[in-house]
Amino acid sequence: MPRKRPGRVRTKNTNRREALKLSSMAPEDYNVRPDEVKSIACPDCRTWRRITGDKVLKIREHCLSDKVAEGEKHVTCPGSDQLVVIDIDVRRWQSEQNRLLRDAMPQEIRRAAQQFYKPLPAPAAPVSRIKAEVTLETARQSYLAHRTGCTRCVGGQHCTDGGILARRYVLALQEEPARRDAREELERQEQRAARKQSAPAVRKAQWAKHGGEEVEKANNACTARTSGSLSEFRGPAVPLQPQNVEAHERRQAELGKQYARKTTAA
């Protein structure tokens, strides 16, 4: 069987090179974002060029020099019409590029990838559902305030919250005598404890524990002190006379003259 010869590319739309795979290039040398124009840095002239085509992708034909309009000769770059194969995961490449761009931004203008919104505060609970210490006065004030502002609480009819507040007020009325007796009993116990603490026997025991005749004698003791002697609280390093007696006397004389002049001027 005769050997099949590989066919030759007989078109000038390619540069007859092996197709360029994006996996062999640096991630920052091409741009294949779905919402942008595909472009690539030409391997030969290292300039950014557009990638054309829908199914067959290739680098657009371009010149080596960008100064053809200024009179330079048009020389086609060898990288023109280079076939390009996208053999990478575009989503992973795009996420990595976004991360690199975000890290390269200054910190003051950097924005988080995921936005976090502060949740709205929950509405305040109605007075009838607040669990707090219930007294007769607080229950009465809550009930009257609700009756004043509620349009459905008319006469003996109550809304749901009004009924809860009314039952709470009635319960506080029923429990008030027991609470009053408890408060009075607590006051009697406190008065009884105060009388016990101020009793003469208790005060005498406290005086015997923390005082007594010995402590009183020690406090009233007065040690005789010789005239001209130094106190025991005064250190031995404290000087009693000036170091330079002549300078001290001279300074005292100058101060006396200044005082005399001020007195005369006055």
Express each pLDDT in 7-48 by its tens digit: 454 555 788 888 899 999 988 899 998 888 899 999 888 889
**Separation CA 52–CA 29 (nearest Å):** 16
**Separation CA 111–CA 117 (nearest Å):** 14
pLDDT of residue 164: 86
Convert the pLDDT of each residue in 175-202 to its tens digit.
888 888 888 999 999 988 888 888 888 7
Q: Mean pLDDT throughout 248-259?
A: 89
Higher pLDDT, 146 or 69: 146
pLDDT of residue 9: 46
pLDDT of residue 242: 83
Q: Which of 41-45, 76-80, 211-215 has the lowest mean pLDDT?
A: 211-215
Q: Binning pLDDT at 50, 70 and 90, where does residue 115 land?
A: low
Over pLDDT 70: what percentage of the chain?
A: 78
Q: Which of 30-44, 57-71, 170-184, 244-258 has the lowest mean pLDDT?
A: 57-71
Convert the pLDDT of each residue in 121-130 to its tens digit.
878 777 656 6
pLDDT of residue 217: 73
Chain-wide mean pLDDT for the chain?
A: 80
Q: Mean pLDDT throughout 65-92?
A: 83
pLDDT of residue 3: 65
pLDDT of residue 67: 67
Q: Is the pLDDT of residue 245 over 60?
A: yes
pLDDT of residue 128: 59
Q: Mean pLDDT throughout 127-152?
A: 78
Over pLDDT 90: what percentage of the chain?
A: 9
